[in-house]
Chains A and B, each alone.
Chain A
Amino acid sequence: MTPSGTKVRVKAMTPPGHIRAPFYLRGKTGEIERVLGPFRNPEQLAYGLPASQKILYRVRFTMAELWGDAAENPADTLDAEIYDHWLEEA
């Protein structure tokens, strides 16, 4: 489990199927806002498969990180829930 405050990057992968890591966050770096705990992996649940437990995090990104110069206000933030297997240390 990775503690709050850790810098993480959403893996820039594009596997097929039902996934919950939105495309616009892939490859983007943020900070763990809080640890939500273990949840059954929706990527398996969606297909009626036995689902393993994955740690779910709330990750906070700045609008500057997501949209660059196009950000309305670079310091505004976006929080999203991302599963552990989608994150790597940044």
Chain B
Amino acid sequence: MPHDHHDHLSPSGHPYRQDNDAPLTYFQRMEIAVRELLIEKGHLTQAEIATQIDRMDARSPANGAAVVARAWTDPDFKARLMENAGDATRDMGFDIGPLHLVAVENTADTHNMIVCTLCSCYPRNLLGLPPDWYKTRAYRSRAVREPRAVLREFGLDLPETTRIRVHDSTADMRYIVLPARPVDTDGMDEAALAKLVTRDSMIGTGLPLAPENT
């Protein structure tokens, strides 16, 4: 399940995506019509739309990693993050807009994992676009029913004594896992620590890297 891409291969072995020759769907036609009207009537420009798309594409798990590394090194920030993650991360320049963010903390005996069974809710301002598997029916249905089996497929075999808490993002909250700080990282600064924080460790389907693996 942890594969993000389903590339086709040509007979010569090169990956390719099939041409999209099908007619536009109803909603594609509607999006184009609304966009063209907004531009024609002077509410928006093409350049503004392109800038906004660039802004969305620029969001990556590096944002979330900076938040986690700061929480590992700054106890006051961590307290604010656990109290109101939306406000704490907005202060770092990561605005979640009208949504609300909840941080859930992994400890020695608790492991958190995020899913959205209804669709694909995801903290995009901190993690960028969700991986394909996050949106699949397989992940969405199995994460709530057999989270331990799913985690094993991600290479994470947690003991029965670890309490697993699954969070189904069903309404207005978005979630980020605050992973436990890896051992043997005492001398590392915030920037070095951020490099240990993987996307999956903030979804709860992985752990941060050990320092010798970076």
- Interface residues of A, Cβ cutoff 8 Å to B: 20-22, 24, 36, 39, 42, 56, 58, 66-67, 70, 72-73, 75-83
B188 CB, nearest partner CB in chain A, Å: 32
Contact of A79 with B163 in the complex, beta carbons under 8 Å? no
Of A20, A77, A79, chain B has the most CB atoms within 10 Å of the CB of A79
Q: In which size bucket is the chain B interface?
A: 20 to 34
Q: Which residues of A contact B146 (CB under 8 A)?
A: 72
Q: Is the interface of B mostly helix, strand, loop or mixed?
A: mixed
| Cβ–Cβ contact B147 & A82, under 8 A | no
How many angstroms from the CA of A42 to the CA of B119 in the assembled complex? 14
List B residues at the A interface (Cβ < 8 Å).
100, 102, 117-118, 144-149, 160, 163-173
Give bound CA distance, A63 to B102, whole Å: 22
Residue among B146, B167, B170, B173 facing the most chain A CB atoms (10 A cut-off) = B170
21 A-B contacts, Cβ less than 8 Å apart? A20-B170, A20-B171, A21-B170, A22-B118, A24-B144, A56-B171, A66-B144, A72-B146, A73-B148, A73-B160, A73-B164, A75-B163, A76-B147, A76-B165, A77-B164, A77-B165, A79-B165, A80-B167, A81-B170, A82-B171, A83-B171
Cβ of A21: which chain B residues have Cβ within 8 Å of it? Answer: 170
- In the complex the two chains form, is A72's CB within 8 Å of B147's CB? yes
State whether B170 touches A22 (Cβ < 8 A): yes
Chain A residues positioned under 8 Å from B171 (CB to CB):
20, 39, 42, 56, 81-83
Q: How far does the alpha carbon of A51 sit from the alpha carbon of B118 in the complex, in Å?
A: 20
Which residue of chain B lies nearest to A36 when distances are taken between CB atoms in the complex? Answer: B173
* Contact partners of B117 in chain A: CB under 8 A: 22, 24
For the complex of A and B, the 6 pairs showing the least CB-CB separation, nearest first, are A81-B171, A80-B168, A76-B164, A78-B166, A72-B148, A81-B170
